[in-house]
Amino acid sequence: MMQFTGKVVYKGIALGPVRVWKKHDQPVRPGRITDAEAEIREVQRAGMQAKRQLLELYDRAVKEVGEADAAIFEAHRVMLEDEDYLELIYSKIRTELVNGAYAVAVTGEHFSEMFAGMEDEYMRARAADVIDVSNRLIRILEGTEEAPGDMEPSIIVADDLSPSETMQMDKEKILGFVTVRGSANSHTAILARMMNIPALVGVSLEPNQIRTGTRAVLDGFEGRVIFDPEESQCVRARERMEEEWKKRRLLEALKGKENRTRDGRIIQLYANAGSVDDIRCALENDAGGIGLFRSEFLYLGRDSFPTEEEQFRAYRQAARMMAGKKVIIRTLDIGADKQADYFRLEKEENPAMGYRAIRICLTQSEIFKTQLRALLRAAAFGNISVMYPMIISQEEVRRIGEIVKEVEAELEDDGIPYRHPEQGIMIETPAAVMISDELAELVDFFSIGTNDLTQYTLAIDRQNGKLDDFYNPRHRAVLKMIEMVVENAHRHGKWVGICGELGADPDLAETFVNMGIDELSVAPSMILKIRKAVREIGDLQINCKMAENSDQ
Ligand code: PEP
Ligand code: MG
């Protein structure tokens, strides 16, 4: 038995086998082999396994995102049958007597460079695909990946996880997360909360010492992970899981009820989402809408920009699933910890204060316009609102307005149906707070991003796990800022919500209601807990009268 402690990111208990997660970004090293034909047979075996994986991925994607978007997996499968590609790998093994993984890596790079140099845009885009396919083969050859179908539900143990890696994991197969690094306020932590998965960060273990398959108990209440637990510890974990289920079932009784305080004040409770799965979860938890759809997650965990069509379909699907309820889609908030290689962003000294979010969109307007076209088109099919992240000035908001007008004119010219959506901004910089009076005149609503607002107000990097104890989102400075933003929004007749993690703090629900916050957007799993907190606010005597008239 081995036991380690860490910081709790999401409470809960998990019990099951461990899967040690390895990064795949190390270069493949050449190794000498003696039996070329045996090595080629290994590559062929890996090829068969890769094709099986791709078939499974294709079937899953058809169900989740539709045939058109799933086609990429079919294209990858066909690449694995390309004779030129395979012949080059085999001839490298035969003539240079190198290991299969290295031969695949070199061949992949060769084909990728060839595609990248082509005139035709479609062929150029295949450069990333051939690298993707080669990496899949390499992972199988090096034994660093099981076929998705073979992986049993596990507790992931990793040195660190990026949002992009987390996004690629099959949520159904994750029981919990345990990482050595990471902070409680990072996007990986946010993803764990969205996925409703117990998670610990800052656990001082050495992942290489833990074997995949080892049994573990993750206690996300005590902040503890136990490897090779004793039977009594497993029994206790099962009991705790049962207790949690009971509490959950009690909360279920609040489905369909209003978010109304005992003295009659009503607040909107929406859900944060980053994928279609999250929207399903939001619906299951009776969300009144989607208050923050982190669109950048559509851009992560892939090798090229999502096309206008892909984005349009994803946003339209979100709107359709919510069936008339508001879906607030935030435009691309890439940069800092949310990185995708194909953006080719330079390394920066201070990425959290660097070239990110709206700054990228306003300087690379083609990327921004593609997203806006998709958003405005999807808005014609549902109740979509759009909001913009990391705003610091009125000039930015005016410039966004001009670009939206240009996009609308282009759609008009192209005869493509669209709708002008409600538009708001995130208030997540102290600058935006201080000029919220002026900004309120330019927009339809505000959504306060307390994660970044806390980081910039307290001058604490939210990615730095060492500072978690200093990162206090309940700091008076942050609460006073929220109060100021609410006053300024309401003075101009605009509504204001909170979509940062602070909105999900049940102990603050009363504070926010008293401030006059109109909406809270929280992880789907938190909706019923906050509804419970809201319904306990207010005067009991008034409540007796209210109960007679209320819907519940
Ligand atoms: C925030 O900063 O509070 C927010 C909601 O945005 P993100 O966490 O994605 O930066
Ligand atoms: Mg933010």
pTM of the model: 0.76
Query: What does the alpha-carbon distance between residue 316 and residue 322 come to, in Å, rounded to a whole number?
Result: 10
Residue nearest to atom 3 of ligand 1 (CA): 449
Give a yes or no: residue 394 inside a domain.
yes
281 is catalytic: no
H helices within 82-186, ranges in order?
83-96, 100-116, 121-142, 163-168
Residues 111 and 125 in one domain: yes
Give a yes or no: residue 458 inside a domain.
no
Segment 519-529 shows an average pLDDT of 96
Residues 519 and 417 in one domain: yes
Structure tokens given for 189:
């932590």
- Give the model's pLDDT for residue 146: 52
Residues 306 and 371 in one domain: yes
Name the residue of 330, 426, 451, 462 whose CB sits within 8 Å of the most ligand 1 atoms, as the mutation to test its pocket.
Answer: 451
Of the residues 215, 250, 285, the one at which a domain ends: 250
Residues 314 and 416 in one domain: yes
Segment 214-241 shows an average pLDDT of 96
Segment 127-145 shows an average pLDDT of 81
- How far does residue 129's CA lie from ligand 1's centre (Å)? 31
CATH code: domain of residue 389: 3.20.20.60
CATH code: domain of residue 189: 3.50.30.10
- Is residue 328 within 8 A of residue 386, CB to CB? The reply is yes
Give a yes or no: residue 383 inside a domain.
yes
- Is residue 218 within 8 A of residue 192, CB to CB? The reply is no
- Is residue 511 within 8 A of residue 284, CB to CB? The reply is no
Residues 508 and 376 in one domain: yes
The terminus-to-terminus CA distance of the chain in angstroms comes to: 50
- Give the model's pLDDT for residue 148: 44
Tally of domains within the chain: 3
Segment 328-357 shows an average pLDDT of 91
Give a yes or no: residue 414 inside a domain.
yes
Mean pLDDT of the chain: 91
SS (H, E, C) 305-320: CCCHHHHHHHHHHHHH
Residues 16 and 42 in one domain: no
The catalytically annotated residue of 76, 281, 361, 499 is: 499
Residues 281 and 379 in one domain: yes
Atom of ligand 1 nearest to the CA of 333: 9
- How far does residue 258's CA lie from ligand 2's centre (Å)? 29
Give a yes or no: residue 109 inside a domain.
yes
458: nearest Cα among 336, 334, 352, 331: 352
- Is residue 528 within 8 A of residue 285, CB to CB? The reply is yes
24 is catalytic: no
Residues 401 and 508 in one domain: yes
> Which ligand gives the minimal distance to the CA of 457?
1
Of the residues 125, 142, 159, the one at which a domain ends: 142
CATH code: domain of residue 52: 1.10.274.10
Residue nearest to atom 1 of ligand 1 (CA): 449
- How far does residue 449's CA lie from ligand 1's centre (Å)? 5
- How far does residue 228's CA lie from ligand 2's centre (Å)? 39
Q: Which residue has the higher pLDDT, 72 or 435?
A: 435
Residue nearest to atom 6 of ligand 1 (CA): 449
Residue nearest to atom 8 of ligand 1 (CA): 451
* Residue 26: pLDDT over 90: no
Q: What are phi and psi of 340, to 5 degrees?
A: -130, 125
The catalytically annotated residue of 187, 361, 420, 544 is: 187
Look-up of token digits 């069936």: 323
Query: What does the alpha-carbon distance between residue 250 and residue 528 come to, in Å, rounded to a whole number?
Result: 10
- How far does residue 452's CA lie from ligand 2's centre (Å)? 5
- How far does residue 390's CA lie from ligand 2's centre (Å)? 7
Query: What does the alpha-carbon distance between residue 147 and residue 410 come to, in Å, rounded to a whole number?
Result: 45
Q: What H or E segment, with its residue span, contains residue 394?
A: helix 394-414
Residue nearest to atom 4 of ligand 1 (CA): 449
Most confident of 22-31, 71-80, 155-164, 224-233: 224-233
- How far does residue 24's CA lie from ligand 2's centre (Å)? 28
Structure tokens given for 524:
């789907």
Give a yes or no: residue 337 inside a domain.
yes
532: nearest Cα among 512, 510, 500: 510
pLDDT in tens, 65-104: 667 767 888 888 999 999 999 999 999 999 999 999 999 9
Give a yes or no: residue 465 inside a domain.
no
pLDDT in tens, 242-292: 999 999 999 999 999 999 999 999 999 999 999 888 999 999 999 999 999
Q: How many CA atoms lie within 13 A of 295 on its CB side?
A: 33
* Residue 139: pLDDT over 90: no
Segment 496-513 shows an average pLDDT of 97
270: nearest Cα among 429, 171, 390, 383: 383
Atom of ligand 1 nearest to the CA of 296: 9
- For residue 513, the Cα-to-chain-centroid distance in whole angstroms is 28
Atom of ligand 1 nearest to the CA of 294: 9
Atom of ligand 1 nearest to the CA of 336: 10
Query: What does the alpha-carbon distance between residue 368 and residue 215 come to, in Å, rounded to a whole number?
Result: 46
Query: What does the alpha-carbon distance between residue 66 and residue 551 come to, in Å, rounded to a whole number?
Result: 39
Segment 297-318 shows an average pLDDT of 92
pLDDT in tens, 98-126: 999 999 999 999 998 898 888 887 777 78
CB-based pocket (< 6 A), ligand 1? 190, 292, 294, 333, 428, 449-452, 499-500
- Give the model's pLDDT for residue 123: 79
Give a yes or no: residue 480 inside a domain.
no
Q: What is the largest CA-CA distance in the chain?
A: 88
- Is residue 200 within 8 A of residue 225, CB to CB? The reply is yes
Which structural domain, as residue segments, surrounds residue 176?
Answer: 2-22+148-250
Give the E-state strand segments of 435-546 in sequence order: 445-448, 495-498, 519-522
* Residue 551: pLDDT over 60: no
Partners of 338 in beta bridges: 335
Query: What does the alpha-carbon distance between residue 77 and residue 59 come to, in Å, rounded to a whole number?
Result: 13
- Give the model's pLDDT for residue 150: 54
Residues 138 and 160 in one domain: no
Q: How confident is the model at residue 452 (pLDDT cuts 50, 70, 90)?
A: very high
Residues 338 and 244 in one domain: no
- Is residue 56 within 8 A of residue 172, CB to CB? The reply is no
Name the residue of 183, 297, 426, 521 whose CB sits within 8 Å of the most ligand 1 atoms, as the mutation to test its pocket.
Answer: 426
Of the residues 250, 276, 303, the one at which a domain ends: 250
Q: How confident is the model at residue 422 (pLDDT cuts 50, 70, 90)?
A: very high
Atom of ligand 1 nearest to the CA of 447: 5
Residues 231 and 300 in one domain: no
- Is residue 500 within 8 A of residue 479, CB to CB? The reply is no
Residue 45 one-letter amino acid = R
Percent of the chain with pLDDT over 70: 94
Query: What does the alpha-carbon distance between residue 86 and residue 107 come to, in Å, rounded to a whole number?
Result: 9
Count of residues in the chain: 552
Residues 274 and 324 in one domain: yes
* Residue 496: pLDDT over 90: yes
Structure tokens given for 409:
């004119």
Name the residue of 185, 299, 428, 460 whose CB sits within 8 Å of the most ligand 1 atoms, as the mutation to test its pocket.
Answer: 428
- Is residue 278 within 8 A of residue 524, CB to CB? The reply is yes
To 10 degrees, the CA torsion angle through 38, 40, 41, 46?
Answer: 130
Q: Say which residues have a Cβ less than 8 Å from residue 10's Cβ, sequence separation at least 6.
A: 189, 192, 193, 196, 197, 198, 199, 220
Atom of ligand 1 nearest to the CA of 272: 5
DSSP state of 299: T
Q: Are strands 215-219 and 224-227 parallel, antiparallel or unpaired?
A: antiparallel
